[in-house]
Amino acid sequence: MKDIRTIALIAGVLALLTVATAIGQFLKRHPDRGLDPAAIDTFNLRLRGWWIMCTVLAVAFWLGTTATVVLFGLVSFWALREFITLTPTRKGDHRALFWVFFLFTPLHYVLVGLNRYDIFSVFLPVYATLFVLARVAVAGDYKRFLERTAKIQAGLVVCVYCLSFAPALLHLSIDGPTTGSRDVNFRLLFFLILLVQFADCMQYVWSRMLGRRLVAPAVSSNRTWEGLLGSATSTALLAAVLWWAAPPFEPWQAALAGFVVAIMGFAGGMTMSAIKRDRGVKDYGTLVVGHGGVLDRIDSMCFAAPIFYHITLLVIGT
């Protein structure tokens, strides 16, 4: 709370959420406006999700870096749970999965928490992959060997490895007018989350308004080229307008980051849709009654976090 920019960002988001909530409640009370009631319900549900997300993030930020890393670790763990639950595995994968859940995932986040970029950047993609291959081979079931190991590896990379780049932002040493303040890093992380959520929204809005050409009708029935382009452009604009909130960026760099984040978010959504279509489910959380899964919420984040991290690295020139 030391920084005027942090306060401005928080106040802005709170104001936006409050206004949106008021509009959502107003539309719900007056169903005679000719709007699709299902869309209003979705909107209100989404808003509730954001309130919860903001509250959880605020508490984690307030508690500090370690708490935030732990929070992301728990989210990763849960997302991986959903991923593997919907991926058919065989009994021969059991022991490998045990170590993936209880050793590799926590250890990776410990390395992130200790800021050992040199180790955590290769730990899962190299060592966990090798371990999974070898462990499944030793278990003695060779049926569809590559397919099974690839599934586990994909789950680990998307749900754990990629997502962990978001809290890893907290450890970057950012040169700038407010050096030494942790606020800067939290603001950067929040900037990323904001862009990803905004891109998701804009994708939906533009698709509904102008969407004609579906990118891949068999995979997703609501992701269009127009939506992608619109979302990338508006996210770039928002990022440029909010450049002051993200310390190392010039406005044009922020815009570029926003553009890339939107495209990666789109890629994440498409990827997860493809997996869901293959498994014949709508949400990852169908096993959890009444709400979509964690993975449905973070798919775009998983894809956008690494590239945002590396853009930031480039910009601060480390």
Partner 1 sequence: MLSPADPLPSLPPQPSLASQGRSALCRAAGLSLAALARLLSGSSVRWIASQPDTCQRVYFANHTSHLDALLIWASLPQAVRELTRPVAAKDYWSRGFVRRWLAEEVFDALLIDRTDIKVHQSPVDLMLREVGTTKSLIVFPEGSRSVTGEIGEFKSGLYYLAKKRPELELLPVHIDNLNRVLPRGEFLPVPLLSCISFGPPLWLERGEAKLDFLARARRAVLALKE
Name the residues that contact partner 1, by CB under 8 A. 77, 81-82, 84-85, 89, 91, 94-95, 97-98, 101, 287-289
**Distance in Å, CB of 86 to partner 1, minimum:** 9
Q: How near is the Cβ of 287 to partner 1 at its closest, in Å? A: 4
d(CA 99, CA 109): 14
| Structure tokens belonging to residue 251 | 């406005």
Residue closer to partner 1, measured from CB, 247 or 293: 293
CB nearer to partner 1: pick between 33 and 91: 91
Of 80 and 194, nearer to partner 1 (C-beta) is: 80
Burial (CB < 10 A; 0-12, 13-18, 19+), residue 86, is buried
Task: Tell me whether residue 81 or residue 187 sits nearer to partner 1 (CB atom).
Answer: 81
Closest contact distance (angstroms) between CB of 123 and partner 1 is: 20
Of 15 and 287, nearer to partner 1 (C-beta) is 287
Give yes or no for a contact between 207 and 276, defined as CB atoms under 8 angstroms apart: no
User: What's the token pair of residue 174?
Assistant: 């950012």
| Shortest Å, Cβ 59 to partner 1 | 21
How far are the Cα atoms of 58, 188, 231 from residue 180, in angstroms, in the given order? Answer: 20, 14, 34
Rounded to a whole number of angstroms, the minimum distance from the CB of residue 124 to partner 1 is 18
Token pair of 256 as six digits: 């570029």
Pick from 229, 184, 179, 185: nearest CA to 207: 229
Cβ closer to partner 1: 85 or 121?
Answer: 85
Helices 65-85 and 145-155 pack at an angle, to 10 degrees, of 150
Residues with Cβ within 8 Å of residue 70, at least 6 apart in sequence = 109, 113
Least separation, in Å, of the C-beta of 298 and partner 1? 16
